[in-house]
Amino acid sequence: MTTDLPPELRLRRAAMSLITLVGGVSLAVIPAATISISARIFTLSEQGAIAVMVMVATFAGQITFAAVVESRLSSAGTERRVTFPLWLAGLSLVAAIAVAVQFDNAVVLCIALPVLLASLEVGRGVSVAERLDSREIGAAIAVGAGALAGVLAGFAGQRWAIIPLVAGIFVATLIRSLPVKHKASTPEPRVLGWVVADVAITGSIYPLLNWTILAFLGPLPSVLFTAISTVSGVLAIPLNFMRLRLLKQHSTLDIVVSAGSVAAAVVVIFVCEFLGVFGFIFADSWTLQATALPLLIACLWRAASLATTIPFASLRRMGEAKLLTILRGVVAVLTFAGAAAIVATQQLGWIFAVLLLGELLQAALYELARRRKVSGPRIAEEL
């Protein structure tokens, strides 16, 4: 428990945690930078396909993360150590080179995105879980600098604007591939199966939902849905950080740091919204439709994960992978059905409202399950 540490060490850990947490912005900016660059070098139909593929790539990253990182952290009978796989690093490097060579080919970009985002997701997850803070800071700077250079090149109308973005990912992948002293634990097969099934069910609803929007409403609402999800996804950075740390052990310090970061991120997002920053970044897809209310509801949806993550991580540490998969699967199906049913209203705010309600339902179910698991042994002891 971090609360048992001396005050000086706790302060140092808090500072490093905050720096590493802020570095997570580099992961969130890749989808946003991709959409921004695409808006300036590809046709509207290609932008719609790329917007859907960004969601698919995010889903692929979540699945890979579940198999490589989360299954090991959830295997209570092992040392729960994780490393960045060299096979994934190799695929990421090849994908980055392919995009750099075919920089104006939307098909190549769509094929490469799942590999690139999976590499970023796993690489950062390993660094956070194993507290490889110094290494992660270097990787985050590389990704952030590449994304910034790419977006600026896109603003200048350069067709090759995607090259700096993938170059940053290339450098970050090399940094995260540096050897470590420990070996990755072998995940328990039962846990691996349930964790991957969990993410496969819950993560699939977002690309499916975006595909539904694209099919029924067209490319512009689909791009806007992805853009708003990406912007509000900045809040997922501290939430994912907290989730990774809590999968290792409960830490009040990491919860406080993450909650404060979520509040600060919401303020920054709406300052940018009122200053017109997102309209500048995402161009017509942002400016041609009302965004303030959908963005607010999307931020509430993301922030609600604060209530979800704490009991979720507690149940994972208890080894309750099967129970979590069942609960999350039921909520995911209900959430997708509700969101898809109101696509015809053409109101993105209502869609994000359904996602918010689904998140709150998850939080309530997890907390009830956690309390039952904790109170069960106590009742048995009293008897």
Q: 3-state DSSP helix/strand/coil percent for the chain, to nearest 5?
A: 85, 0, 15
Three-state DSSP string of 41-64: HCCHHHHHHHHHHHHHHHHHHHHH
At 183, the amino acid letter reads K
Q: From CA 146, how far away is CA 157, in angstroms rounded?
A: 17
For the segment 108-150, what is each residue's pLDDT rounded down to a tens digit? 999 999 999 999 989 988 988 888 878 888 898 899 899 999 9
**Structure tokens, 37:** 């660059």
Distant-in-sequence, close-in-space partners of 376: CB < 8 Å, separation ≥ 6? none
* pTM of the predicted model as reported, rounded to 2 decimal places: 0.72
Which among 291, 305, 236, 235 has a CA at the least distance from the CA of 264?
235
At residue 150, φ and ψ (nearest 5 deg) are -65, -45
Decide if 351 contacts 342 (C-beta within 8 A): yes
Which residue do the tokens 């290339």 mark? 170
Name the residue ranges covered by the structural domains of the chain: 2-382
Q: What is the largest CA-CA distance in the chain?
A: 73
Which pLDDT tens digits describe the chain residue by residue (383 residues)? 444 556 665 566 556 555 655 556 667 788 888 988 998 888 888 888 888 888 889 889 889 988 998 888 888 778 888 999 999 999 999 999 999 999 989 999 999 999 999 999 899 889 888 888 788 888 988 998 999 999 999 988 899 999 999 999 999 999 999 998 888 888 888 888 888 888 888 888 888 888 888 888 888 888 888 889 888 888 887 887 788 778 777 778 778 888 888 898 899 999 999 998 888 878 777 877 778 899 999 999 999 988 998 898 888 888 787 888 899 889 999 999 999 898 878 888 899 999 999 999 999 999 999 888 877 655 444 44
Q: From CA 15, how far away is CA 17, in angstroms rounded?
A: 5
| Predicted pLDDT at 350 | 92
| Predicted pLDDT at 164 | 96
Distance of alpha carbon 161 from the chain centroid:
24
Decide if 339 contacts 209 (C-beta within 8 A): yes
- In terms of residues, how long is the chain? 383
Angle of helix 252-275 versus helix 7-23 axis, rounded to 10: 40
Decide if 266 contacts 324 (C-beta within 8 A): no
Q: From CA 272, how far away is CA 94, in angstroms rounded?
A: 35
